[in-house]
Structure 1
Amino acid sequence: MNDPCIEVRNVTKRYGRFALEDITLNVKQGYITGLVGANGAGKSSLIKLLMGMSLPLAGEVRLFGEPLAKNEAELKERIGYVADDSHFYEHLSIQAMKSIYAPFYRKWDDRLFRRYLDRFGLSPKALIRSLSKGMKMKLALAFALSHQAELLIMDEPTAGLDPVFRRELLDILAELMLDERHTILFSTHITTDLDRVADYIAFLHQGRLVFHESKEEIFDRYAVVRAENSLLDADVRRSFVGIRETPVGFEALTSDREEAERLFSGFARIERATLEDIMFFTAKGVTVHG
């Protein structure tokens, strides 16, 4: 069960001035991995590489232990994919779209598809163009889950959705994981979603992988330090991932909570960092004075 479902080996891909640089990432089978980062960090670019929609300049992508480049069609039958925007023919009904989609998958399950339509309140006769963004996301999920996919890859599935359906979607993902053969990778910039369901977090920043660790390891290691500005000198600044200064004090992110407690105990408040804290301070960085 600990075998990697996704292996990204030293992958580089350039898009004009932006690049994914030397990404190495192993996504474990049987877990939910959240791919997090600000807009433009490279999340969608990486997912397109995983889906074979673009090719790496260097490195290799392997799925289920096999090179994607050599066995793409067979491997994709084992993947359910939900894009960040609708990729359906808008003028068709759901039933007509299913007639086009289903033949691509040998394990398509019509009863399961109808069950998801019923659960999501979707009529097979409804025209796709008449659906709201949330309903289109539900439809994409119904398609992705109806051919017994072992790996579910989702690109910003909760973006722009109302809180009620966001919670429903996360509950569905949690239900899927009761069957331990499933693996889920989903990208998001809504960090509270990851707090609820993710087992592992992969953090991309400006095309580079900052970390890929279990959620527990991240929360044990990172902390926010709040103290008076008088504690800041050049060496202290260098020990932080990022700093925010105000006239009354500073707050900063450390990736070594134990060291921060040793240095600042009694002089600062040290609190567990949230994923939002980690994203903010990593993007802000540190300016060293002196």
Structure 2
Amino acid sequence: MTTFDLSIPEVVFGATRIGEDPAYEVTICTPAPGVVPAAIGIDIVVRHGLEAIERADTVIVTGTGARVSADPRVLDALRAAAARGRRIASICTGAFVLAQAGLLDSRRATTFWSMSEEFRERFPGVDLVPGVLFVEDDGVLTSAGLSAGIDLCLHMVRCDYGAAVANGTARLVVAAPVRPGGQAQFIETPLPADRGTSLAATRAWALARLHEPTALADLARHAGLSVRTLTRRFRSETGLSPLQWLLHQRLHRAREILETTNLPMDQVAARSGLGTADSLRAHLVRRTGSTPTVYRATARARQP
């Protein structure tokens, strides 16, 4: 197994609180409790067997070397959990196990980008989306490799408890706020050269002014770059164009306002920088499939 992947659910879900109370209980299990070898020459002691899955609301398969022949006991336990309507997820190469269990047949899914060709050849019945952070398809979620698992878990926290709680968890684990699943998982230049060229300060400047109109020229002026250079560097650092990134941040802000206030829709739109209530509605329906009114009601209903 991959120890980093294994630690992600414990870190993210373990940090999530509703008031002073923990929001989740995380249990690690394996077919044969005891010593399990990890990928870097260390051993992990796992105390629980697969009976833990029978009590679980969400089952997550983390990165694994069992890409070809997963334990039949694991596959049976996953199928049974899915049949009970449990939420099923994978991080990194855990998607290979879900596919072996038949849980990804005719579904959209993703996995670690470097394993995409192998996955596509072995599981042609899966609609592989190779370039994104995570995919959700009717209660089954798959993420790309390594840190994309953090994005996946934060997404599940937001689905369960709302944007405010998910943002609080992200701050506690020192992670970026919830990123869209469709963001690129593989960025050719994820870190800028050490020459002060990062656009982090410009992104922070834009975040503080989401309620104000912001054009490409405004971002370029703040960064001291041409629009063309800004766009190239923005995409290299985030995987998104500047305007795509701005829209995502504004939708994220709008969703948090909808979840945590009773403000009328025109004020939600204004405070999030989406302009008008009609614009808010159009963008939210496109992103979530729900109108602002339905989204607010649904979010309130699931809050403790």
Larger relative strand fraction? 1
Taking structure 1 as the reference length, the TM-score comes to: 0.33
* Rg (Cα) greater in structure: 1
Larger relative helix fraction? 2
Taking structure 2 as the reference length, the TM-score comes to: 0.32
Identify which of structures 1 and 2 has the higher relative contact order when contacts are C-alpha pairs closer than 8 Å and 6+ apart. 1
